[in-house]
Chains A and B, each alone.
Chain A
Amino acid sequence: MRLVYFAWVRERIGLAEETVDVPDTVVTAGDLIRWLAGRGDTYAHAFEAAAQIRVAVDQEHVPQDAPLGRPREVALFPPMTGG
């Protein structure tokens, strides 16, 4: 699964994007966040406030309880501050 990160999520992980093999136990966007948080200190720091993290599947916002399906790209990022 191709993952892309933005803003402080990107900075804390130290990567803008990566491709990962996600286990079958990851069904929803929230599952993905919890699984990523267990991948090491940088990920734990990025996802420590898991409820704040926003998720976009194939460039559309989804709630954390949404099933991921088989996306081309999943983005994880902080609440937005444009405008």
Chain B
Amino acid sequence: MGAAIDVRVQADDFDVGAEIARLHEGRTDVGAVASFVGLCRDEGGTLAALELEHYPGMAEAEIRRVAEEALARWPVLTAITAVHRHGRIPPGGRIVLVAAASAHRTAAFEAAEFLMDFLKTRAPFWKKEHRADGSEGAWVAAKDTDDEKAGRWR
């Protein structure tokens, strides 16, 4: 049975518990699900919200390409789910979920980290800050450390 990839890009929030349950629903061969949830920080109270812009179509396609690479790298994986939100997200709000299911934990942990590292550097999303004091917010700058994290998988 081939591993299932479920990628969604949406404005709506997601239910982490339901997503994880769906990854192993009806199966008894899955021994591990590792997940990561990315949240909006308030940056010490200075941030009112993040506005996430995306490239419709390519955002989904690129996350799917990353997920396919993860499956090729860890063939033991049984399923991958990635959900990324767009639009305005307030502090404390969920931005992204990646989850990987496998027979054993090592592949699930590693794949979840791999998915996030490449999602951050390859999926076409951009964050703009809305400041709490009403002043014009800046576009969040890409971090070299994110490129370094992605680079170590090569």
Number of B positions contacting A (CB below 8 A)? 28
Given contacts A82-B84, A82-B125, contact A7 B58 (CB under 8 A): no
Chain A residues positioned under 8 Å from B142 (CB to CB):
78-81
Distance to closest chain A CB from B61 (angstroms): 6
B80: interface (CB < 8 Å): no
Interface residues of B in 49-84 (CB under 8 A from A): 52-55, 57-59, 61-62, 84
Given contacts A82-B119, A83-B38, A83-B120, contact A75 B126 (CB under 8 A): no
B1: interface (CB < 8 Å): no
Q: How far is the CA of A81 from the CA of B57 in the complex (A)?
A: 17
Query: Among A60, A77, A79, which residue has the most Cβ atoms of chain B within 10 A?
Result: A79
A77 near B120: Cβ-Cβ < 8 Å: no
**Complex: chain A residue closest to B138, CB-CB:** A8
- Interface secondary structure of B, over-half rule: mixed
B53 near A6: Cβ-Cβ < 8 Å: yes
Using a CB–CB cutoff of 8 Å, the interface residues on chain B facing chain A are 38, 52-55, 57-59, 61-62, 84, 95-96, 116, 119-128, 139-142
What are 18 of the A-B contact pairs (CB < 8 Å)?
Answer: A4-B55, A7-B139, A59-B58, A75-B124, A77-B55, A77-B126, A78-B139, A78-B142, A80-B121, A80-B122, A80-B123, A81-B140, A81-B141, A82-B96, A82-B120, A82-B125, A82-B126, A83-B123
User: Can you add 11 more A-B contacts, CB < 8 Å, to A6-B53, A82-B84, A82-B124?
Assistant: A6-B124, A6-B126, A77-B124, A78-B126, A80-B122, A80-B123, A80-B124, A80-B142, A81-B127, A81-B139, A83-B96
